[in-house]
Amino acid sequence: MTATIERVTAENTAAKAGTVHDRAVRYILAGTRLALGWIFLWAFVDKLFGFGMGTEQKNAWINGGSPTKGFLTFGVAGPFKDVYTSIAGAAWADWLFMIGLAGIGVALLLGIGMRIAAVAGGLLLVLMWTAVLPPENNPFMDDHLIYAAVLAVLALVNAGDTVGLGRVWAALPIVRRMPWLR
Secondary structure class of 179 (helix, strand, coil)? helix
* Upper half-sphere CA count for residue 3 (Cβ side, 13 Å): 0
**Closest to 42 in 3D by CA, of 121, 104, 135:** 104
In a domain, 16, yes or no: no
With vertex at residue 87, the alpha carbon angle to CA 82 and CA 92, rounded to the nearest 5 degrees, is 160
In a domain, 6, yes or no: no
In a domain, 47, yes or no: yes
The whole-model pTM stands at: 0.88
Q: Is the peptide bond before 139 cis (omega within 30 degrees of 0)?
A: no
Host domain of residue 146: 29-181
How many domains does the chain divide into?
1
Q: What is the pLDDT along the chain (182 residues), one digit of tens a residue?
A: 555 555 544 454 444 556 899 999 999 999 999 999 999 999 999 999 999 899 999 999 999 999 999 999 999 999 999 999 999 999 999 999 999 999 999 999 999 999 999 999 999 999 999 999 999 899 999 999 999 999 999 999 999 999 999 999 999 999 999 999 99
In a domain, 147, yes or no: yes
In a domain, 17, yes or no: no
CB atoms within 10 A of CB 45: 17
In a domain, 12, yes or no: no
In a domain, 20, yes or no: no
58: which residues sit within 8 A by CB, 6+ positions away?
50, 65
In Å, how far from its chain's centre is CA 58?
28
Task: Point out which residues pair with 132 in neighbouring strands.
Answer: 77
In a domain, 3, yes or no: no
Secondary structure class of 77 (helix, strand, coil)? strand
